[in-house]
Amino acid sequence: MLDISRAALIVVDLQNDFCPGGSLAVPHGDQIIPVVQQYLALFETHQRPVILTRDFHPKDHISFKSQGGPWPAHCVQETIGCELHPSLRVPPQAHHVVKGFNPAVDAYSGFEGVVSDTPGHLTTMTLHQLLQAHEVAEVYLCGLATDYCVRATALDALSLGYGAGIIADGVKGVNVEPTDSERALREMASQGAVLLESHLRIGP
Ligand code: VGL
Ligand code: ZN
């Protein structure tokens, strides 16, 4: 049965640049928004923590093709592409985590970021510290992209001892290779993540 009494919801990188029209668009990335919205409402109703992560790159970030990296420029700070998708209704109590701001280091996992609840102000608090402060034992993950930042965040959560549920219809992958997302989901499951087959049907 649904038990989110010690859970937090983590919405990974649901930013304009990862949605159709963006510079590193995940195919159909915006289709997950209604599912994400339902989970946001659920966690808000139960007064459980909600965290939204954002890729937050300087314009000369090491992961960009201009610097010899694999990706087109994306999620550059202070651009529209870096903003959360405008149709997301972000709860006022939600926490925000930014990552990938060090120009020389790529950071796929939210656990490599810092809390930034005031726009433009980065704290030194990590996601792990934030979750500990709220006595969170398990995280429910949705967002973009299954094969990169969702994967990395889930694997870090599991390594840190959190339970992890992946909202299967609340994630979408880049699929540089067509099976990348499937592989990532299998890998997360093999490390202990629970794949939640259909939205709002949590548990066995
Ligand atoms: C991501 C590629 C590059 C992601 C971030 O959010 O999954 N993917 N930077
Ligand atoms: Zn990035």
Residue 129: CA atoms inside 13 Å, Cβ hemisphere, count? Answer: 9
pTM for this model (two decimals): 0.95
Residue 43: CA atoms inside 13 Å, Cβ hemisphere, count? Answer: 31
Return the best residue to mutate from 11, 101, 108 for the ligand 1 pocket (most ligand atoms within 8 A of CB).
Answer: 108
Q: What is the pLDDT along the chain (204 residues), one digit of tens a residue?
A: 457 899 999 999 999 999 999 999 999 999 999 999 999 999 999 999 999 999 999 999 999 999 999 999 999 999 999 999 999 999 999 999 999 999 999 999 999 999 999 988 999 999 999 999 999 999 999 999 999 999 999 999 999 999 999 999 999 999 999 999 999 999 999 999 999 976 555 444
Residue 44: DSSP 8-state: H
Q: What is the largest CA-CA distance in the chain?
A: 49
Q: Nearest bound ligand to CA 53? A: 1
Domain ranges, ordered by start, for the chain: 2-203
For the CA of 152, the nearest atom of ligand 1 = 7
Question: Any idea which architecture 2-203 has in CATH?
Answer: 3-Layer(aba) Sandwich (3.40)
Torsion of CA 181, 182, 184, 187, to 10 degrees: 180
Residue 121: Cβ-neighbour burial (10 angstroms; 0-12, 13-18, 19+): exposed
